[in-house]
Amino acid sequence: VNPIFGEAGTTIFEAMSRLAAETGAVNLGQGFPEGLEPPEVVEAASRALREGPHQYPSMMGLPALRQAVAASSKRWLGLDVDWEREVLVTSGATEALADAFFALLNAGDEVIVFEPAYDSYMPIIRRAGAVPVPIRLAPPDWRLPRAEIAAAITPRTRALVINTPMNPIGKVFSAEELRLLADLMLAHDLVAISDEVYEHLVFDGRRHQTLFALPEVRDRVVRIGSAGKTFSVTGWKVGYVSADAKLLTPIARAHQYVTFTTPPALQAAVAFGLNLPDAYFDGLRADLARRRDQLGTGLSAAGFEMAEVAGTYFAVAPIEGLDADGDDLAFCRRLAIEAGVAAVPLSSFYGARDVRSHIRFCFAKTEATLAEAMRRLARWR
Ligand code: PMP
Ligand code: GLN
C-alpha cells in the first residue's frame, strides 16, 4: 500500500459531516450550499437525462459546455479562449487538479503551495512523484510573502498552485500579488495551476482576477473552474480546465486515463447554466454576501471574531481567547458535541497540521440554518 493514501485519515470534511450527523449538530463544516441550486439548471439536467444521450460523450467534453466555458471567460474576464483547443471538461475540479499534477510534474519537481491549502493538493502532488513546498500566509491579512517565495524557488521548482478566491480564508488575490507571481513564473520558467472554483463568489464590488489574464504568462497557466460552486451543486462534479493547447494536451491525456469523461446530462445542464444572464451570477453573489454578514453578526454576538471575507463561502475565526487550549480540532469536536454546531479546524489545511489557530465556517446556508447555528453558539458561550 502506498503510504500517501495508506496512512491518510478520512478527510476532515467527511469526518466533520459524520460527526454532525451523529450529534445532530448544524453543519457549517464541510463546504456545501443549502437551498441555492438554481431551479432552471436542475430542470436542464432533468430534461437532458430524459432526452439523452446516455453514452460516453467526447473525452474533451460536450462542445456546448466547452463553448460555454470559453464564452464565460470572454464575458467575465474579456479573455479569448479557443474552445476546441483550450478547454477540457473534467469530473470536478478535483479531477482537473489531479490531471494537471499528473501531466505536468515529473519525479523530484518542486511545487510551491500556499498554506492554508485545499486538502487535495499536496497528497496528489506527492503521488505524482513531485515535492510540495508549502509557503505559509499569515493572518490577519494573509498577504503573499514575497521574499519567502523568492527564497523557496530552486532549480527544481516547476510549478506553483494558487487558489483565488481562496478556501479556507476567503482571500482574493490582488493584482499586485498576481503580478509578483507572474514575474517569478517568467524569471524561473514556472507554470501555475490556478484553482478558481470560487471565481463567481467575490463580494463588495470586487472583481475576480486571474493569472490567465496576464498576457506574458497566459501560456503558463492552467485555469480550473467548477460547476459545483458556480451553481451550488457540489455533488455534480463537473469541472473545467482552460489552458494553452501545449499544456492542455498532456492534461487531456491524463484525463483520458483517470475518468475519461463526465456524465453528459450534467454537462448539458452546466452549459445551460453558464449561459444564464448576469442577473443569476450577481444574485448569487448578493445572496452570499448577505449570509456572510448574517454569520459575522451572529458570530460576534456569540463572542467569536470573524475575519474579513472577500470571496468564497467560508469565513474563519481565531480560537484565541475562546477557551480552546490552542487545539482547533479538539475545539471543533467540542463545538459539535457541546454547542451543536460543526465547523472545520484550519490545521487540516496545513501539511504539518501544526497551525491550530483558526476554525472555518461555511455560510452558504439558509437564513434559518444560520440563525439556528448562531443561537446555539450564543447559548453555549
Ligand atoms: N478546489 C477548492 C479550493 C475547493 O474548495 C473545492 C471544493 N471541494 C475543489 C477544488 C473541488 O471541486 P469539485 O467539487 O468540483 O471537485
Ligand atoms: N471543498 C469543500 C470544503 O472545503 C469540501 C470538499 C470535500 O468534502 N472533499 O469544505
Per residue, the 3-state secondary structure of 26-58, as one string, reads EECCCCCCCCCCCHHHHHHHHHHHHHCCCCCCC
274-294: pLDDT as tens digits: 999 999 999 999 999 999 999
Nearest to 95 by CA among 269, 286, 236: 236
Q: List the residue whose alpha carbon is closest to atom 10 of ligand 2.
A: 31
Q: Which residues of the chain have pLDDT under 50?
A: none
Nearby residues of 70 by Cβ (< 8 Å), 6 or more positions away: 81, 82, 83, 86, 87, 242
> What pLDDT is attached to residue 291?
98
Give the integer Cα–Cα distance in Å for 293 and 295: 5
Neighbours of 310 (CB within 10 A): 20
> Can you say how many angstroms the Cα of residue 173 is from the centroid of all Cα atoms in its chain?
14
Cβ < 6 A, ligand 1 pocket? 31, 92-94, 118, 163, 167, 195, 197, 226, 228, 234, 237, 239
Give the integer Cα–Cα distance in Å for 298 and 376: 10
- How is residue 299 written as a grid cell? 458570530
So what's the architecture of 39-276 in CATH? 3-Layer(aba) Sandwich (3.40)
Question: Do 5 and 352 meet the contact criterion of CB atoms below 8 Å apart?
Answer: no
Residue 13, ligand 2, Cβ within 6 A: yes
Furthest-apart CA pair in the chain: how many Å? 57
Residue ranges per structural domain of the chain: 3-30+279-380, 39-276
Say what the pTM is. Answer: 0.98
310-324: pLDDT as tens digits: 999 999 999 999 989
| 239 Cα nearest atom in ligand 1 | 15
Q: How far is the CA of 230 from the centre of ligand 2 (A)?
A: 14
Nearby residues of 76 by Cβ (< 8 Å), 6 or more positions away: 199, 200, 208, 281
> What pLDDT is attached to residue 368?
98
> For the domain 3-30+279-380, what is the CATH code?
3.90.1150.10
> What pLDDT is attached to residue 40?
98
> What pLDDT is attached to residue 381?
87
Terminal C-alpha separation, the chain: 45
